[in-house]
Amino acid sequence: MEAMTTQEIVHYSIFALLALVTVGGAIKVAASRSMIHAAFWLFPVFAGVAGFYLYLGAQFLAAIQVLIYIGAILLLIVFAVTLTRNAADTDEAQSNRFVIPVVLAALLLVVALVGAAVITPWREAGVDIDRLLLAPGVPVTDVSAVGLTLLQQYLLPFEIASVLLLAAMIGAIVLARKERRAPDEALPAEEIMAHDERTEAYTELTR
Amino acid sequence: MVIPITGILAVSALLFVVGAVALITRRNAIAALMGVELMLNAANLNFVAAWRYFWPERMEAQVAVLIVITVAAAEAAVGLAIVLNLYRRFGTVDLEQIRLMRG
């Protein structure tokens, strides 16, 4: 086997680092006892996926990934963790009774998925053999092409996504809002009657 | 000459499976939502890998990833709002203890 060139060494190192950060972080997310630790272990996962996007040449998606996942979703999850009681304070198990069969099934699924990727005859499927291996020097994403595709060919999904975001925003506000009773309006009937009785007793006393 | 697509697909498969395990086994509702986020990230990584190796001149995969990220943001917002509501009502986010719809 011939010695690897410097370029190959750099590519394999980048790939190994990104894979380690992403998968290792994901395993820590799934296994951490402390919820706040699990939430913060999401950061290397999202950052590693953003790194993969950059490595694959999708720099626009990498920026979006950092903005939306790290900037918004991660922050939202950390807030939700801090607003709820941390179950790691107790000695209870953090996983339910399915954990051993599920992990075994997951290992099988990994073998099946990776095996399918390995044995698929990419070359025979008509895929250009030069593209099967990521070659350096291929130009990165033309962001204007993404925008044109989004706003010309896929305008309807784009609009549906924006309506979905609006609906989700309103739904989240309604769901997370504290219930606040309007005076006299939302009181249950018994409370109103009790209130009236008290008022009558008070007026009789002061009469 | 360098990284074959199989490597990227293997990373994405691992990410997906770890997310699925977190979704199924974690008792904390927020941790289960984190598992969903991991699975969506794995799907997006597959989209980008397929774009890069097979159709780098077409942008459908990136459009799909953008829409998936939008839906994931909506899912996180509504899901966490529901979890906060559950916490307010039951005083816990333990999925084993919340059995309102389990009969």
Residue in chain A nearest B74 by alpha carbon? A168
Q: Is the confidence at residue A179, as pLDDT, over 50?
A: yes
pLDDT digits (tens, 9 = 90+) for A17-33: 999 999 999 999 998 88
Query: Which stretches of chain B score pLDDT less than 70?
Result: 1, 101-103
Range from A48-52, A54-58, B41-45 carrying the lowest mean pLDDT = A54-58
List all residues of chain B from 60 to 79 with a beta carbon under 8 Å from chain A: 60, 62-63, 65-67, 69-78
Nearby residues of A171 by Cβ (< 8 Å), 6 or more positions away:
B77, B78, B81
Cross-chain residue pair A26–B30, CB shorter than 8 Å: no
Chain A closest CA to B43's CA: distance in Å? 11
Q: Is the confidence at residue A91, as pLDDT, over 70?
A: no
ipTM of the prediction: 0.92
Dist CA B47 CA A58 (whole Å): 11
Ramachandran bin of A184, using left for φ above 0, alpha for ψ from -120 to 50, beta for the remaining angles:
left
pLDDT the model gives residue B54 = 79
Question: Which among B15, B25, B53 has the least Cβ separation from residue A95?
Answer: B25
Between the alpha carbon of residue A163 and those of residues A169, B62, B63, B76, B98, the distances in Å are: 10, 20, 17, 16, 32
Best B14, B57, B75, B94 member to test A by mutation, with max A CBs in 10 Å, is B14
Bridge partners (DSSP) of residue B4 are A133
Q: Is the confidence at residue A12, as pLDDT, over 70?
A: yes
What domains appear along chain B, each with residue ranges and CATH number?
5-90 (1.10.287.3510)
